[in-house]
Structure 1
Amino acid sequence: MPAFEWVHVQLHQQKGMISLSPPTICNSAFSGVVYAVGEGVDDIQIGQHVVVEPYIIADDVPTGPNDKYHLSKNMNFIGLGGRGGGLSEKIAVQRRWVHPISNDIPLDQAALIEPLSVGHHAYVRSGAKAGDIALVGGAGPIGLLLSAILKAKGLTVIITELSAKRKEKAIEAGVADYVLDPSKVDVVAEVMKITEDRGVDVAFECSSVNKVMDTLVAAMKPTGVVVIVSIWSHPATINVHSVVMKELDIRGTIAYVNDHQETIRLVEQGKINLEPFITQRIALDDLVSKGFETLIHNNESAVKIIVHP
């Protein structure tokens, strides 16, 4: 059994909706400041700003560059499966999960590195490259942050979204070249105009809505790649005939694996601005009235709500 050094972090976190069994201190997306380090830690300094890759994974699972540790048995997350959480005041984590970030990046923005890394991993899974055209189905938090990654990597981004507020956020944040409302236009027909009748190179399903999946498949070019990003809680169907006749690849993606460093680099280099995605900042005492209530009753207006302990 390997030994792991520990880092102690004073937290500054971002909150989202989750499902868990009490008593649990929730939230798996957070940033913080190192206030103590364990024996053997010599590459992290007290006072350094960090983000945490919040995995709970067995100690004997390797986490090297080519290891698929995110698919390991019984994988879980801090804030979902115990071991503290982002709404704690302080937390101790193994050194391998701690990623330094420039102190020039505000801590509230740094708290979005975790969901941004979800988008980065989806991009990696797609095999997309600069110059490709991507269609993103759904402009919720992950769809928007994924789109930010795609723009930073040099793709043309088309977003399809019904919600007026989410469409506005996509335009405001500058993460989409085109925003299409399926209640007002034929999305597939518009995509074909944009792509000169070729279809998109890659598509990302971020909605858990079957009609969106159907649209993505119909809008694909032959040999294109559809990446399913959202976690479906219900069965789905897909037009298998189109998948076969166009030789499409349908790929799943979950969380992240060795994605944090590149995601952090994109933010530090100014290629991604996280400020537009923070839609509210609240105190811990307002977590229910201004946090959970907003996400339950007015979630279209919320991308990420930052909670200060």
Structure 2
Amino acid sequence: MGNAAAVMTGLNSIEIQERPTPDPAPGQAVIRVEAVGVCGSDVAYYRYGKIGPFVVDGPFILGHEVAGEVVAVGEGVENVRIGDRVAVEPGTPDRSCEECRAGRYHLCPNLEFLATPPYDGALLQYLAMDARCYFPIPDSMSYEDGALIEPLSVGLWGCQRANLQAGDDVLITGVGPVGLLAAEAARALGAGSVTLTDISDYRLGIAADHGFMVEKSDASTSRTFDVLLECSGANGVLASALGRLHEAGRAAVIGIAKTEEVPLPLSILNWKEITISMVNRYNNTWPLGIALVSSGRINLEGLVTHSFSLPQTAGLSH
């Protein structure tokens, strides 16, 4: 049984190579990978070779939005069994540090996250991980839907970080996949209204097709909101969007800015007592995400725009 992998061999270059087929260690399970989404971080590593302090310095496998079928289980594994269809949470914490013991496993300083140097990702045939990172999905969900639980989890965690309450009017800036999924999460969690802004008519059209209110980013409006989910990372967007919050408004910063420092309207933030929370991935969101998608409360239609086989990934790099 081979284990073909799409290996990034340099900037803008991918080759299909054979990697050892993994055997599960105690506590691990092996999946046959069936679907892998392409994240903006994958594109950044592919084009530029780094994101902040994380640098690709040798052959590297991309991909952390993953779903597959369990084909082998190690000693002591009880939460999954061979044949289960699973969505994968891509970060493995050490489960023993202070952050993990406090329930903040996503902030574990020793987190091993797929496709974040030095850890390879999931663009290969067979993947072994801590079985506690696998969450069974029902037959009604496709493997593509299972892979989308990862970006959906970013949106769900953003809603939790913003302390979204039922009935809140929510503003989402940036209608990329995460922005759209954050909107779906907000609606499913009981938001009173959800409005998305972007500079792209195409992306706003997709959001409108999902039943959301939309605005062009440069539209002139005095409407204000209870919650802001900033998903664009674009220069100046956070500062201007914070000005659209009510008194005691709450914001979650999901998009990663291209600069380490961004200006903030402190006079407005202080006067209105605006709360700003940062978002680092997610915490314990897979069960909720799977339940919301499988029940039909979250609509994933239109998010998968292209599909490629593993061998085709090499051709895409030329």
TM-score under structure 1 length normalisation: 0.84
Q: Name the structure 1 match of 2:256.
A: 231
Who is 1:180 aligned against?
Answer: 215
- Aligned residue identity for 1:14: G
How far does the alpha carbon of each residue in 1:139-178 deviate from its partner, in whole angstroms, 9 at most, with x for none? 011111111101111211011111011111111233x2x1
1:277 aligns with 2:303: yes
**Which structure shows the bigger proportion of residues in helix conformation?**
1
1:89 to 125, 132, 136: 125
The count of corresponding residues between Structure 1 and Structure 2 is: 278
Residue identity opposite 1:27 in structure 2:
G
What amino acid maps onto 1:166 in structure 2? R
**Structure 2 SS opposite 1:278:** coil
Corresponding position of 2:28: 6
Partner of 2:38: 15
- Shift of residue 249 of structure 1? 0.6
Query: What CA distance in whole angstroms lies between the structure 2 residues aligned with 1:166 and 1:65?
Result: 41
CA distances 1:103-145 after superposition (whole Å, capped 9, x unpaired): 2201111110011001110011111112110000110111111
Provide the secondary structure at the position in 1 that maps to 2:302: helix
State the alpha-carbon separation in 2 of the partners of residues 134 and 275 from structure 1. 21
| 1:259 equivalent in structure 2 | 285
Q: Distance in 1 between matches of 2:263 and 2:125?
A: 44
Per-residue deviation at 1:54? 0.7
Query: What is residue 142 of structure 2 aligned with on the other side?
Result: 106
Question: Separation in 1 of the partners of 2:79 and 2:236?
Answer: 49
Q: Distance in 2 between matches of 1:64 and 1:48?
A: 27
CA contact (8 A) 1:116 1:146 kept: yes
Report the residue type matching 1:209 in the other structure: A
SS of residue matched to 2:307: strand
* Contact 1:34 1:46 survives alignment (8 Å): yes
Cα distance, 1:142–1:273 mapped onto 2, change above 3 Å: same
State the alpha-carbon separation in 1 of the partners of residues 150 and 307 from structure 2: 18
Which structure 1 segments of 5+ residues have no match?
193-198, 294-309
Deviations 1:247-290 (A, max 9, x none): 11111111011111111111111111223211111222332655
| Percent of residue pairs identical | 29
Q: CA RMSD in A?
A: 2.1
Is residue 50 of structure 1 aligned with residue 72 of structure 2?
Answer: no
Change (3 A) 1:74 1:38: closer
User: 2 CA distance for matches of 1:289 and 1:203?
Assistant: 40
1:241 maps to 267
For residues 128-139 of structure 1, the aligned pairs below 5 Å read 128-139=164-175
What is the TM-score when the length of structure 2 is the normalising length? 0.81
C-alpha distance 59-69 of structure 1, shift in aligned 2 (>3 A) = closer
| More displaced 10-residue stretch of structure 1: 65-74 or 250-259 | 65-74
Matches of 1:50 and 1:83, distance apart in 2: 21
SS at match of 1:222: strand
What amino acid sits opposite 2:282 in the alignment?
Answer: Y
Using the TM superposition, give the Cα deviation of residue 63 of structure 1 relative to its aligned residue in structure 2, in angstroms. Answer: 8.7
Deviates more, 1:41-50 or 1:149-158: 41-50
Q: Are the equivalent residues in 2 in contact too, given 1:102–1:268 (CA < 8 A)?
A: yes
Instruction: List runs of 5+ in structure 2 lacking aligned partners.
Output: 1-24, 50-55
Cα offsets for 1:160-205 (capped at 9, x unmatched):
111011111111233x2x100133x21x42xx2xxxxxx2110011
Structure 1 83/236 Cα, relative in aligned 2: closer, same or farther at 3 Å?
closer
> How many Å separate the matches in 2 of 1:285 and 1:4?
31
2:245 is matched with: 220
Pairing 1:282-301 to 2, within 5 Å after superposition? 282-287=308-313
